[in-house]
Amino acid sequence: MFITAPAYASETPPPQPSGPLAKLQGITSRASELALHAMTMIGIRYQYGGNAPESGLDCSGLVRYVFKQVTGAELPRTSEEISRVGQNVEPSELQPGDLVFYNTLRRGFSHVGIYLGDNRFIHAPSAGGKVRIESMDISYWKSRFNGARRINQPAE
């Protein structure tokens, strides 16, 4: 069996970023991957305490599952516990892959979703619902917003 090198192998590869730029590119890439992987969960049914797509997901189960699949990170079980991980992010500085938190049960940080960009987030809403994308501009979500966090993973 004869194997040939790809045509581009003889070309000089494009320069790769180094230093702080490489780290930024790695973080940006992982953030986009988090958002994209989360979108593959659209339509998965809500299940209180659920942490696997096969059996259903609750809000923190969705976040934990996506982060584990994409980054290998083991996040705490509840949205309130997850709200203590990572760095605080101002709403004006949200990036895809950031976590957004809401007060939906008359207590802070009782709901979590993954920010996708363009003021939209993906989440597992509640009993009878399915994983879906919603606008943060809807009055229900605006009035219940608790804050946002960024879970930075070390560059690989």
The answer to whether residue 111 is catalytic is yes
Predicted local distance difference test score (pLDDT) of residue 26: 46
Q: Is the pLDDT of residue 25 over 70?
A: no
Taking only the tens place, the pLDDT of each residue in 31-63 is 789 999 999 999 999 999 999 999 999 999 999
Q: Is the pLDDT of residue 23 over 90?
A: no
Spot the catalytic one: 64, 123, 149, 150: 123
Spot the catalytic one: 44, 59, 70, 100: 59
Give the whole-number percent of the chain exceeding pLDDT 90.
Answer: 75
Q: Is the pLDDT of residue 1 over 60?
A: no
Taking only the tens place, the pLDDT of each residue in 94-114 is 999 999 999 999 999 999 999
- In the sheet that holds 145-150, the strands lie side by side as 87-89, 145-150, 99-102, 111-117, 120-123, 132-135
Cα 103 to Cα 79: distance, rounded to the nearest angstrom: 10
Which domains are delineated in the chain? Answer: 21-150 (3.90.1720.10)
Return phi, psi of residue 20, to 5°: -60, -35
Higher pLDDT residue, 66 or 15? Answer: 66
